[in-house]
Amino acid sequence: MMTLNQMDRRIPVPLSAHMALHQKANMRAYLEAVQAIIAALPGKDFAAVSHAASSMGFSAATAQMCRKMGAGAQGFAEQAIGFHRSASAIAAAAQNRNTQAVLQRLGDTLRQCTTCHTTYRQQVVTDPAFQRLLERLQASP
């Protein structure tokens, strides 16, 4: 019988169990942030939109975490960083109180979610195997 890993043709993102759980917890929080944005929009609560979007937004620390999570998967970190930048653009549109722009940027951001989900899947590896990927990442320029 084929294993799930053999049947799933998406690119594997090797992660330690701890990091895989952490990534999935982040993901559930992103879905909640999207929910909060949609809930706040009809009442034009731009502060709430901005707050929720910023929780997915770009920062240097976030970019570093993306590189860690993508240490063993070509292109993953770039895809992830693009997503965080796109979420920051939702927050900027909310700060300008521009509903149309919020919706456009939200659409861009959701496209980043779905593109990444179509392309990548988690693959849990041992802690030492993940450690070796991180060391390789640190060694590369």
Name the amino acid, one letter, at 26: N
Instruction: Report yes or no: 19 and 134 within 8 Å, Cβ to Cβ.
Output: no
Binding mask 109-128 for ligand HEC (x = CB under 6 A): x--xx--xx--xxx------
CB contact set of 24 (below 8 Å; sequence gap of 6+): 122
How far apart are the C-alpha atoms of 103 and 34, rounded to whole Å? Answer: 11
Segment 97-100 long-range contacts (CB within 8 Å, at least 24 positions apart)? 97/44, 97/46, 99/41, 99/44
| Cβ proximity to ligand HEC, 62 vs 109, nearer residue | 109
* Candidates 40-48, 75-83, 95-103, 129-137; binding stretch for ligand HEC (CB under 6 A): 75-83
Q: Taking CB under 6 A as the criterion, which residues in 18-37 touch ligand HEC?
A: 24, 27-28, 30-31, 34
Name the amino acid, one letter, at 89: A
How many CB atoms neighbour CB 22 within 10 A?
Answer: 15
Q: Which of 13, 40, 89, 94 binds ligand HEC (CB under 6 A)?
A: 13
Residues in contact with ligand HEC, counted by CB under 6 A, come to a total of 19
| Cβ proximity to ligand HEC, 116 vs 133, nearer residue | 116
80 binds ligand HEC (CB under 6 A): yes
Residues that bind ligand HEC in the complex, under the rule CB under 6 A: 13, 24, 27-28, 30-31, 34, 76, 79-80, 83, 109, 112-113, 116-117, 120-122
